Chains A and B, each alone.
Chain A
């Protein structure tokens, strides 16, 4: 964003003051977003993808991560049982594995894990 040129050009802006105020607000918002977007990777680096600027966005992520892991585990277990006739062992094992996967998802989504992903820098 050409901030300097935009500020200079504002002086010879003959449009209504309301419009100027709005674009100034939008520009300030953009600058704040710029700061948030660029200051995060300094903390975490490009390999730690946890750039959630608002806690609410992060909260929305958490709500489904665990459930998705359990569902996928249960489905794979059910499908294996159906295919191999190993009922109920596939369901039992994969439901637990799915639960573990869900917990890992949540931990990563919450950014608790220092690396964000396993294997990075450990």
Chain B
């Protein structure tokens, strides 16, 4: 049976150079990140090149993705959140495209590695902290001090609020990574059942293999939904966290 973890292996394609004795390699992960970026570029440039009054398919996709992210930001972070539209749109499109490419067989899922999702989440986390202090100064600390709490339990609440704040990048990154990883392993294991049954049970195996095949088809459809939802959840949480930076202690 095929190894279900094998698909997540990082392979070196080319060596770009050495920095401090550490090899900088162009890996399959980097290749698929580049493919993701080129895919987004092709979609958006191709979609906006004709600028027709009646949008075609490509233009519809480009316009809808723009409006979807813009509405998400405005409904969670308000008009001021639109400052961060390029950031949120980039994150959303990158994760969505990487997840969608990952569903295609023989491709590599960039977002199934926690280093990628953790970097994205830390980027959001640091943006929130830096912009929060830049915009609000020390008033940003009001995020950790809820109003209307009796003074004798306030220190405890502040500790809990700080911990809750620190746990954000972890849940933000682990959610995306774990969902992609688990989905792809499930698909691989079920697909492995098909070849196992056909290989070992003959004609009975051919009939029995219909069951895992149906499961694979169904889970592939579910994975498409999860791929979209995870990109959406990542984007909306980014908006909610940015809202904290814009309006702390509201």
Give the interface of A toward B (CB within 8 A). 1-2, 5-6, 9-10, 13, 15, 19, 22-23, 26-27, 29-30, 33-34, 37-38, 40-41, 46-47, 49, 51-52, 54, 56-57, 60-61, 63-65, 67-69, 71-73, 76, 94, 97-98, 100-102, 104-105, 117-120, 122
Contacts and interface: CB of A to CB of B under 8 A. Distances in A.
A33 B183 CA distance: 27
Interface string B120-149: 000000000000000000000010011111
B191 interface: no
Identify whether the interface residues of B are mostly helix, strand, loop, or mixed: helix
Given A37-B75, A49-B77, A101-B160, A64 B178 contact: yes
Interface of B: 53-57, 60-61, 63-64, 67-68, 71-72, 74-78, 142, 145-149, 156-157, 159-161, 163-164, 166-168, 170-171, 174-175, 178-179, 225, 229-230, 232-233, 236-237, 239-240, 243-244, 247, 249-250
A46 B247 contact: yes
A105 B237 CA distance: 12
A63 to B, nearest CB: 7
Contact of A51 (B75, B175, B225): B75
A26 B55 CA distance: 10
**What are the 9 closest A-B residue pairs judged by CB atoms, nearest first?**
A37-B71, A118-B146, A68-B171, A101-B163, A119-B146, A101-B164, A68-B167, A68-B170, A46-B78
Contacts of A51: 72, 75-76, 236
B221 to A, nearest CB: 14
Contacts of A5: 53
Contacts, number: 150
Contacts of B157: 118
B154 to A, nearest CB: 11
Contacts of A6: 53-55
A67 B179 contact: no
Contact of B77 (A10, A46, A63, A76): A46
Nearest to B63: A1
